[in-house]
Amino acid sequence: NAGVMQNPRHLVRRRGQEARLRCSPMKGHSHVYWYRQLPEEGLKFMVYLQKENIIDESGMPKERFSAEFPKEGPSILRIQQVVRGDSAAYFCASSPPGTSNNIQYFGAGTRLSVL
């Protein structure tokens, strides 16, 4: 059973470009979460999605950031017009249907570098 797959592992963008980060949850998991980790800091929650629904986006910046989890295909975290402050590691996690009890399975992350 493959784990949570994120790609790309590393992404380099120039200021003003768009970044698209993809996440395929574990098989059978219908809940997806995105977290951001700035250098030397802990992970910060961004958004929680189920298929075709955003459940909680309380951690998402108000502008330039969006997320989706379509009926078919991976979840996408999209960052428009990137700035240097967006440079961070972005982690996706998934959990199966039902109560999670705080157990989530994380991918290896996408490291975004904005030049």
Partner 1 sequence: LAKTTQPISMDSYEGQEVNITCSHNNIATNDYITWYQQFPSQGPRFIIQGYKTKVTNEVASLFIPADRKSSTLSLPRVSLSDTAVYYCLVGDGGSARQLTFGSGTQLTVLP
Q: Which residues bind partner 1 (CB under 8 A)?
A: 4, 31, 33, 35, 41-45, 48, 55-56, 58-59, 91, 93, 95, 99-109, 111
- Could you tell me the smallest distance in angstroms from the CB atom of residue 66 to partner 1? 18
Give the ranges where 7-81 is alpha helix by DSSP (H).
Answer: none
Q: Which is nearer to partner 1, 17 or 37 (CB)?
A: 37
Q: In the numeric block, which tokens belong to residue 10?
A: 């590393």
Q: Which is nearer to partner 1, 76 or 108 (CB)?
A: 108
Residue 109, φ and ψ in degrees, nearest 5: 95, 160
- Could you tell me the smallest distance in angstroms from the CB atom of residue 98 to partner 1? 10
CA 26, 44, 47, 63 torsion-angle sign: negative
- Which letter, b or e, does each residue of 27-59 get, where b requires 16 or more Cβ atoms within 10 Å of its Cβ? eebebbbbbbeeeeeebeebbbbeeeeeeebee
Q: Which is nearer to partner 1, 59 or 68 (CB)?
A: 59
CA dist 12 and 17 (Å) reads 10
- Could you tell me the smallest distance in angstroms from the CB atom of residue 28 to partner 1? 16
Q: Which is nearer to partner 1, 17 or 76 (CB)?
A: 76
- Could you tell me the smallest distance in angstroms from the CB atom of residue 96 to partner 1? 12
